[in-house]
Amino acid sequence: MTAIMTASELLSELSGETPPTLLDVRYEMAGPPGRDLYEAGHLPGAVFVDLDAELAGRPGPAGRHPLPDPADFGAAMRRAGVRADHPVVVYDGGNGWGAARAWWLLRWAGHPDVRVLDGGFARWRGPVGTDGPRPEPGDFTPEPGGMRLLDAEGAAALARRGVLLDARTAERYRGETEPIDPVAGHIPGALSAPTGENVDDGGLLLPADELRARFKRLGAVPEAEVGVYCGSGVSAAHQVWALAVVGLNAALYVGSWSEWVADPARPVATGADPG
């Protein structure tokens, strides 16, 4: 099952016999929820999903965006009209982070058919709605385990035996700046692999051959064990999605750096060297 969809493909499917359920997950790191943007214009029939409130649990020692309680997540998805036997397409404003977080959670929770709109709302050229749809409640019930998951101990071990990718900016990886979390640096042994380098200047995912070449340079190849983390498990979900698009199955450390540094006993590396 493919994990990506173009705007033209979605426009065609929306006029078909079984149009997908649409979820609008516009989100900006450290910004307000995207509901105002949604209400100003969204894909017809799309339901807004709040990443902070519905795609994550309460922030704390487990990170800024820990896993939501499966029951709460399932209730939110049913309110949005998600059905177990019906395809879902998720989109955001354009950078793909919020959409990829929704994609990953739905796949982790067992939904078999979820795709991300490549380029998000910024690439949409079809009709736009301003209504507040009230979808018929869905029937989706999470069955966690559909995607590989790492905790802090597992991430540390993977950095030693496999490939652990740090999806934050290179500056944050090196510890030169840390705008959000209290400690700068990276997990020892992790490799710098900024999520922003997976897309072109227009916000579209790079062609598959370019992505494969990039990941191969990082050691992320089919025979390797690969994991990804970021600041709080959002941009890292985008990296896991990009890896999935080219057929690579990576684990996500959901707690990510914000959980890692919550325990002062955990080691921290700085500089360009993995450490």
Catalytic annotation, residues: 230
With CA atoms as reference, report the closest residue to 193 among 164, 150, 224, 231.
164
DSSP string covering 91-140: E-SSSSHHHHHHHHHHHHTT-S-EEEETTGGGG--S--B-S---PPP---
**H-only helix segments in the chain:** 7-14, 35-40, 51-54, 70-79, 97-108, 152-161, 170-174, 208-217, 235-245, 256-260
**H-only helix segments in 15-69:** 35-40, 51-54
What number of other Cβ atoms are within 10 A of residue 216's Cβ?
Answer: 14
With CA atoms as reference, report the closest residue to 115 among 123, 103, 107, 101.
103
Give the 3-state secondary structure of residue 71.
helix
- The one-character DSSP state at 208 is H
Query: What dihedral angle (degrees, nearest 10) is formed by the CA atoms of 259, 261, 265, 270?
Result: 130
Q: Cα–Cα distances in Å, from 95 out to 35, 100, 179, 182, 218?
A: 17, 9, 19, 25, 22
